[in-house]
Amino acid sequence: MRGRSRLAVAAASISAMALVLSACGGGDNQGAGTEGGTAAGGNGGGEIVIRGCTPENPLVPGNTSETCGGDIVDAFTAKLVHYNTETAEPEMDIAESIETEDNQTFTVKLKQGYMFHDGTEVKAKNFVDAWNYTAAAKNGQSGSYFMSAIEGAEEISAEGATGETMTGLEVVDDYTFTIRTTEKVSNLPVRLGYSAFAPMPDSFFEDPEAFEDNPIGAGPFQVESKDTQNTVLTKFEDYSGDNPANVDKLTFRVYTEAAAAYTDVVANNLDYTNEIPSDQMIGEAYKSDLADRNLNRASGRFAGIVFSPNDEQLRDNLELRQALSMAINRDLIAREIMHGSVIPAKGWAPSVVDGATDSACGEYCTFDEARAKELYDQSGGYEGPLPLTVNGDGAHREWAEAVCNSIKNAVGADCIVQVTPDFATFNRQIDAGELQGLFRTGWQMDYPSIENFLGPIYATGADSNWSQYDNPEFNAKLTEAAAAGTDDEANKLYQEAEQMLGEDLPTTPLWYPTSTVGWSDRVTDVKINAFGVLDFSAIKVNE
């Protein structure tokens, strides 16, 4: 997310003959200055407090599909692979190796002696049991979609299914298990660093509710306490991986207003914020307040608007959706309201992702007032107020008002902004089908593949399919792409799938956010990974 670096889809091209991801340590991840790099120096130990937001669900990796909880989960869990902070390339973490000869059956060997926070060892069964639990419909986990490629997932994840185990997972011994996919999935190893694939300790299956109160992982931090305002993590002294924490204590503190967090960072009362208020972006004013304490980097992020599938006026009226999309002056809003912190989008995947073209939305993401008005009139227009709903614990109101004004001026629709208290409430309203009109959507990549901007968001039944898009041809194209023998072949097919979104317009792209962050003078070695998230292990106290 920031500095315009190109993200790799994988550590290397994945061939159909043999894939061996062998163990390797992280790179030195050194940067320069504040342009996508780090602030160097600092010491180990100490405590820091960073800006957080309200998680939608308890901190169960398989049930956390949004960034407020996901950032915390990533801090206290370890997975089979770890994504390099600078390049996003997958590197072995708990896995010693992941091998396949046909891109359909994968053999995973684990490092021995990798420990959970409760003192138990991470073994093959902890992965298999966790993935089965996440996939099973009876457990209601939001990350179930990510298991869908595994053989037998469909049978246990279908609505009303009572099964508990997938046929495609098998424990070979304490440190070896196999994965068999329903179809060939060339990028499966790349996906396995996502939080839904984290292992779970035996204690979780004995008492899942107790785990929610005291989450346990195998990452560099462990959860000490949590309440509605603060989640406190401490350094895990017996951490087994290559990325140990530098600070002794890390607190995520909920801020509902970006301005409040920014003010506290400037005053050194907060050590890190991942949002700079829009008024401070004007003329890069924040660089005056935070000289040598800021960083900007391009990232794998997407922002757009969902046409509510519960709104009968929008659901079956493609011309109306096209008109509203064309009525948004993305370039003007990006320049005058977002002050260059976003890149106007004409597609559903940012250009930092290999294979992205930023063209699938085409003319419908190009502001054309006359054509928008023509389509709007042909469509019959929108009767009554047209709500655009955003969550209040993010810097969304100003751009949302600009989008509404653009729509009003171009086509005459009575667009109004509605603000929910926080992201958790926003998510619950979406799940309950309560929102009409338009509502914001955002995506931070889970793993470095163009597929991640398509399948988890638009495949039929996917948990993050807020638009309830249902296109069998789109689903089939994703399956075909996953089975492709080379990255280039797969990307071409994924582009064809993305083109279907441009034709059907279940959502409309707005822009690709870059990440601009700031920190206090108490900390150094601030690094932002390719996902736009602070490297929690790298940051140090500067005292």
**Confidence label for 417 from pLDDT (cuts 50, 70 and 90):** very high
With 90 as the cut, is the pLDDT of residue 487 above it? no
Do 195 and 228 sit in the same domain of this protein? no
**Confidence label for 352 from pLDDT (cuts 50, 70 and 90):** confident
Reported in sequence order, the residue ranges of 427-514 that DSSP labels E, i.e. its strands, are 438-444, 507-513
Do 190 and 229 sit in the same domain of this protein? no
User: pTM (2 decimals)?
Assistant: 0.78
Is 5 inside any structural domain? Answer: no
With 90 as the cut, is the pLDDT of residue 28 above it? no
Do 233 and 308 sit in the same domain of this protein? no
With 60 as the cut, is the pLDDT of residue 41 above it? no
Do 411 and 505 sit in the same domain of this protein? yes
Domain closes at, from 156, 184, 213: 213
Is 398 inside any structural domain? Answer: yes
Do 169 and 67 sit in the same domain of this protein? yes
pLDDT for residue 339:
87
Mean pLDDT confidence for 292-318? 95
Provide, rounded to the nearest whole percent, the portion of the chain with pLDDT above 90.
77
pLDDT for residue 32:
31
Return all residues near 207 (Cβ < 8 A) that are at least 6 apart: none
Torsion angle defined by CA atoms of residues 377, 380, 383 and 385, in that order, rounded to the nearest 10 degrees: -40
Domain closes at, from 197, 213, 229: 213
Report the CATH number that the domain containing residue 265 is assigned in CATH.
3.40.190.10
Do 390 and 537 sit in the same domain of this protein? no
Is 452 inside any structural domain? Answer: yes
Digit-coded pLDDT (tens) for 250-298:
999 999 889 999 999 999 999 999 989 888 988 889 999 999 999 988 8
Do 524 and 424 sit in the same domain of this protein? no
Digit-coded pLDDT (tens) for 51-67:
999 998 899 999 998 88
412 Rama class: left (phi>0) / alpha (psi -120 to 50) / beta: left
Report the CATH number that the domain containing residue 190 is assigned in CATH.
3.90.76.10
Report the CATH number that the domain containing residue 394 is assigned in CATH.
3.10.105.10
Q: Map tokens 């757009």 to a residue.
A: 304
With 70 as the cut, is the pLDDT of residue 444 above it? yes
Domain with 290 in it = 221-297+516-541
Q: Of 484, 461, 442, 477, whose CA–CA distance to 186 is shortest? A: 484
Domain closes at, from 151, 184, 213: 213
Digit-coded pLDDT (tens) for 145-194:
899 999 999 999 988 899 999 999 999 999 999 999 998 998 899 999 99
Do 337 and 258 sit in the same domain of this protein? no
Is 39 inside any structural domain? Answer: no
**Number of C-beta neighbours around residue 450 at 10 A:** 28
Can you tell me whether residue 326 is helix, strand or coil? helix
**What secondary structure letter does DSSP report for 181?**
B
Is 362 inside any structural domain? Answer: yes
Number of domains composing the chain: 3
Report the C-alpha gap between 249 and 95 in whole angstroms: 27
pLDDT for residue 543:
67
Do 268 and 397 sit in the same domain of this protein? no
Q: What secondary structure does DSSP assign to 83-145, as a single string? A: E-TTT--EEESSEEEEEESSSSEEEEEEPTT-B-TTSPBP-HHHHHHHHHHHH-GGGT-GGGG
Burial class (CB in 10 A: 0-12, 13-18, 19+), 316: exposed
Is 467 inside any structural domain? Answer: yes
Do 340 and 484 sit in the same domain of this protein? yes
Is 191 inside any structural domain? Answer: yes
Is 103 inside any structural domain? Answer: yes
Do 427 and 499 sit in the same domain of this protein? yes
Q: What secondary structure does DSSP assign to 155-223, as a single string? A: HHHSTT------TTEEEEETTEEEEEBSS--TTHHHHTTSGGG----HHHHH-HHHHHHS---SSSEEE
Do 293 and 233 sit in the same domain of this protein? yes
**CB-based contact 190:149 (threshold 8 Å):** no
